[in-house]
Amino acid sequence: MVIYSQNAKKTHTIQVKTLSRQNPVPFGQSENLMAKFLIACVLNESPEIYILTNEEVSGALHKGEKEGRISYWLQPQSYKDHKDRWEKIGTGFLE
């Protein structure tokens, strides 16, 4: 997803991952987040939104290996302190 400020001078890229409960966020075989921000949406009774920067995700990814295949994921304890941290992205309003 790409978002723009009102005057379109500022842009951000966002990767969104949706989970049915508070599980690890899967990244597959790549440890690279393809966006500036990650939004993890956990669909509990009331949706919970966790917002992390690319750097925060990169520093916390867990690497696993099973049957010779490598996969990466973000553990819940690595994103739980980032709930509703919208200030990282900003408002998009003109200043």
Nearest to 86 by CA among 18, 6, 3: 3
Please tell me the predicted confidence (pLDDT) of residue 44: 84
Please tell me the predicted confidence (pLDDT) of residue 94: 58
Predicted TM-score (pTM) of this structure: 0.87
Residue 82 DSSP class: G
Q: Residue holding tokens 């920067």?
A: 53
Is 26 within a domain? yes
Low-confidence ranges of the chain (pLDDT < 50): none
Is 71 within a domain? yes
Domain range for 36:
2-85
Structural domain total, the chain:
1
The DSSP secondary structure of 1-65, one letter per residue, reads -EEE-TTSS-EEEEEEEEESSS-PEEEET----SSSEEEEEE-SSS-EEEEEEHHHHHTT-EEEE
Please tell me the predicted confidence (pLDDT) of residue 45: 85
Structure tokens at 84: 């509703």
